[in-house]
Structure 1
């Protein structure tokens, strides 16, 4: 008699499990080994043309199941008929039969047995046995290569032998696949090998499954548990071009899905979908992007890989890829194309490599902090249930999205100031102080810093600043040269101009020797210039006071925009107005910045923040 018996389980109430599990399951409480054998048919004249090749085919089919479940298939031998094989202890027997069933049957199989069956159709050990119908042309002529209808038939029948039903057969408590949400799954062979529906049924040697598919894996893992040894170490799964569908199960380790060898762009979703609460296995998928039509059920792939289990990292092709992470800490790498990448939950590393690459983040932009540093950018989702903190390299564009909004941050315009010097950054802040009479906003400051790093000179920036609406508001068009010079001295140096300096600059303005943009730069540069050899003590003292005043305004501006990364112009103006030159006013301005920053950090009601680190020291750290 066969070594194993079986038992029946009731419907679970979970449609993903019940749509394929019919209740019959091998009893592996004493052993996880299921024996199998090869046999001729019940008719003694039935023989295999190549018995060694047949054994290899069935061994490959069993191995394709064994990688997913806590079962070991053990080959028992080759027998003259399935009854004798069962009597010798074979639980599953692959049998060649040339019966002409008259209904086009390729093959059939029995559920696990012998118990609880009490009536047998042919012999007492038939439970779990598989019959292939040699009268069928497909069985008689198939190569049984991976992806062929022949091999698909072999693994389909093995699914029955392990307790899986057709997805189109329902019973009390067990739905059909058509009764489930058709936007997620459909009765197609690349969702389950137990389906009869094939989008490419005329191609008999390609475009069929070569392993159990996602629904099969979930059902079988529910019945028999997971194989914890499959790819238990750190594994690099290189996906090569195949004309069939298959599934990868990875039990543990730090693993990578690598599509870099592909000859076109791919779409990769790392495993993050928990289809059933009864099985912990997460599912994702990978396929050529040209074959992905927004959703899986709307697609008709010719190659498709289900990604299941503990998979964290991905590497793209040299073409345009769409790569999506999961709840783990992902390392996602684009290739040479224009890639789109998203880490989702976890603290991820996203490297676009070459091309024009886009990183997605789900949520309102105001919930995020983008920190710019030399060589990398970090994006922190401040929501407790958000996407964590991701590190970006070689990414040109960030997009924040919700169902209703999309907000884009072009890092080519705003992400390039980290390589500039502290003095260069201070000069940009001084422009905001002088032209707008406020602290800079982080977004604007990063824009001008990026422009400067791209070749725009300070003089060119000054010419652009003078024509800004804020400058015209600060220095009205009707303001005389005298009024303009006085206002600049007040904003930049906090004082009325000395007569000699005032006369010099007014002369230059009136004569047209300098423009207003050049004048403002001149005042800024004069405050920081070394005093001449004939400078009086009074002049030196005044210059030192001017420097200290301008430096304090610059520090306030840096605290607001550089260290805290805030960008509201009204707040930037309000904090700068608090500073009048005294120590107490400086303290008040710093306190106001920190109060605004505390409010901005709120993930629901706060603001988008874009600090810059590693360039300017924060002189107020000791105060904070």
Structure 2
């Protein structure tokens, strides 16, 4: 068993202590299922006198699952400590307070399947009364196989022609370069059975049940699954338009609808050619101008045209517009020679085609943002969370995610942040407003909390008080 987490400078458990640990059993967790990422719960509570004398427990961890440990007692619990199957200390809550009478250990990623031990650190105080204590271990099963597994050297290499090619994925690590034409790679499972992550023109795809087969695709426009096809041909163009105009990733339904409309128009897939098409194709013009008619657009851009141009620059390039660019674009909109939607498209095309030092940096940043936006939408579909990505609050989460992207971001490594953002989305409409805002507040609380140094898989939780 190979494990990479550090062994803490704390005493290990003795064989006697290992044998005395009380086992905990996981059951499905349904309470507040729309407000937390947790799927299972193992817990114990007591109000017996002297309960603090037995606060060592064991549970069976599953590799890839992220665990959250909460301990409550009458007085603030002493430090929670988690031990591996050999009794070595591998995680501690570093004495940060969750709330009065509680400590918690967030984001404990299991690197192996087997026994773990928890010292709850209960403290009933010096009293003869039976004061309540509890330990809860939550499991976030959805984190299994979320992070990209290591990519092994390809066993199967396939190269396409200048025409439309169809490839069938093998059980090996496939490296597929489609070449020219509209190329398709076929997979045996359903769409939801695969994780898909992209960075620029490179796509990685692997089966969720079996992470040993990681395929790398280039110049592949379509994916075929047992329950339908997935069209990537206009994915980057659609995401770039959403990033430019709304500062966020496209939602699942809008992405598919926009891709279908672009395909029906026979539109070019790159931004520069698409921008040129705007001036001479009424259908393309109407499609782009529809951005400016949306409720979201009116809410975002209620100020004057200079404020609008500044916002587009920040959405796309995470910087303020230079004075010359600000004056040029705002004057063009003021004069009526450009609509706001067309201006955002033109600024986008200019950012991708500028060969100056600043322009190349802008183009790189934009490519990173488009990749992260695409991965966010892909994750929504893989984990069937598309109905959560709705409304201003959810859009704000996506904007915050893209705002963290820099020119040095590796979209594959950034996937943990994408998954964090996805699970921080509020539950679907119909849940009370107060509850809808809880997940992101909880996510932010844990984002600022020290992370247990095991692995980097993240999650969300709140400082809930458990009775």
The one of the two structures with greater contact order (alpha-carbon pairs below 8 A, sep at least 6) is 2
Q: TM-score, normalised by structure 2?
A: 0.35
Structure with larger Rg? 1
Q: TM-score, normalised by structure 1?
A: 0.27
Q: Which has the higher helix share?
A: 2
